[in-house]
Amino acid sequence: MVEHVVVIGAGVYGAAVTASLTRRGARVTVVDAGAPGSGTSGATFSWTNSCGKQPRTYHDLSVASMAAHRKLAAEVPHGDWYHEGGNLEWAADDAGRAKLREKVDGVLDYGYEARWLDRAEAVRLEPDIDPAALPAYEIAYFPREGWIEPTRLIAHLLSNAVARGAELVRNDAVTGLEVTAGTVRAVRLASGRRLGTDAVVNCAGPRADRIAALAGLALPMRNTRGVLVYTSPVAVSVSRVVHAPLVHLRPDGAGRLLLHSEEIDGATYRSAGGTVEVEPSAVEQVVEAGRALYPGIRAATVESVRVGERPIPGDGLPVLGRAVELPNFHFAVSHSGATLSVHAGDLVAAEVLGADHADALAAFRFERLGPAAR
């Protein structure tokens, strides 16, 4: 019988798994090498979507996860970390337009909400956008998409879990797992503390492979860096996620905007001091693209630039649920954690406590990635 569970990682996945476990009556200790939300969850575009995700099982998991966010936010009086403003997207050339048409056709075939807008319709949604920056037609609109404020969601989930008896251990990295007879018996921390346990859930994000290795399991990861630029507050109306050809942006609270582009992700480097830095010219380029799209933000300055590490399992799909070889060791690791965490975390938590979610999790098992290494 599972009574005590150790959850490793206090980002969006760890918080969601912990909240679900405690709600189901388990005693939980959630441990993090830093502060909750200080890793990938604190540096993410946090776009909630299932826009073009393949295969169909991944799309369906994402749609169910979007619904779980919607439900949770509706149940909480101050659940305003969730923003369902939709997503606008367009392309700049023939190849991009063909790819976008293919994506829209694909999601419509799955029953996902999407429609085409012309320039006037898009400007009605985003009145401060420069009409000249928009194509006359073929602007894709995905109305049920949006974004979350991850740290506020994490705070809600963890505070409720702690109120139900969960223990939150901060700034204490996992250094070892005691495994005997095919079972994880204890988790060892850098502080010297030993946590006896009935089950472990690996929610360590980009470090999930290291935690798996402590259990003798080889989790292939191909993590990438993501760069986010945060502006100063500006009196400009931006109400939704916007994917323009040269910049992606969304609101980020208190009048700030969050900017990103695929190009800026490649502009990182490791300094002589060992820190990850971003080329200033790349930051300026993405800010200028934002200013060209929304002329009203010309006076905005850059408040901060954050570099996050995206946790991406080897084949790009989530890794969820128990490991067959080590059945009390469970995974909740993926890219798109902002979208998936609440729903997928609940599925994983339920399985930890004995529920049968074989069908829902079948496509996302660890074993698909190859033989386990012991």
Q: Domain ranges for the chain, please list them.
A: 4-48+150-221+314-369, 87-143, 224-310
CB burial of residue 54 (10 Å; 0-12, 13-18, 19+): exposed
pTM score: 0.96
What whole-number percentage of the chain has pLDDT above 90? 94
Q: For the residues 180-185, what does the mean pLDDT come to?
A: 97
Task: Lowest mean pLDDT of 145-154, 292-301, 347-356, 364-373, name the range.
Answer: 364-373
Query: Can you give the pLDDT at residue 273?
Result: 87
Helices (H), the chain: 12-23, 56-75, 94-109, 119-125, 150-163, 208-214, 262-265, 280-293, 337-352, 358-361
Q: Please give the structure tokens belonging to residue 106.
A: 């694909």
Condensed to tens digits (0 to 9), the pLDDT of residues 245-290 reads: 999 999 998 999 999 999 999 999 998 888 899 999 999 999 999 9
Query: Can you give the pLDDT at residue 373?
Result: 44
3-state secondary structure at position 75:
helix
Which CATH code for domain 4-48+150-221+314-369?
Answer: 3.50.50.60
Q: Please give the structure tokens belonging to residue 299.
A: 């006076």
The continuous run of DSSP H or E covering 8 comes out as strand 4-8
Which CATH code for domain 224-310?
Answer: 3.30.9.10
> pLDDT category, 77, cuts 50, 70, 90?
confident
Condensed to tens digits (0 to 9), the pLDDT of residues 275-284 reads: 899 999 999 9
Q: Are 304 and 233 in contact (CB under 8 A)?
A: no
> pLDDT category, 374, cuts 50, 70, 90?
very low
Query: Can you give the pLDDT at residue 370?
Result: 82
> pLDDT category, 1, cuts 50, 70, 90?
confident
Q: For the residues 13-19, what does the mean pLDDT come to?
A: 98
Residue 364 CA to residue 224 CA, distance in Å, equals 20
* CA angle, residues 115, 149, 313, in degrees to nearest 5: 80
**Model confidence at 372: pLDDT above 70:** no
Q: In residues, how long is the chain?
A: 374
Written as one string, the DSSP assignment of 278-343 is E-HHHHHHHHHHHHHH-GGGTT--EEEEEEEEE--BTTSS-EEEE-SSSTTEEEEE-S-HHHHHHH
Q: Position 244: which residue type?
A: A
- State the first-to-last Cα distance of the chain, in angstroms, to the nearest integer: 26
CB burial of residue 274 (10 Å; 0-12, 13-18, 19+): exposed
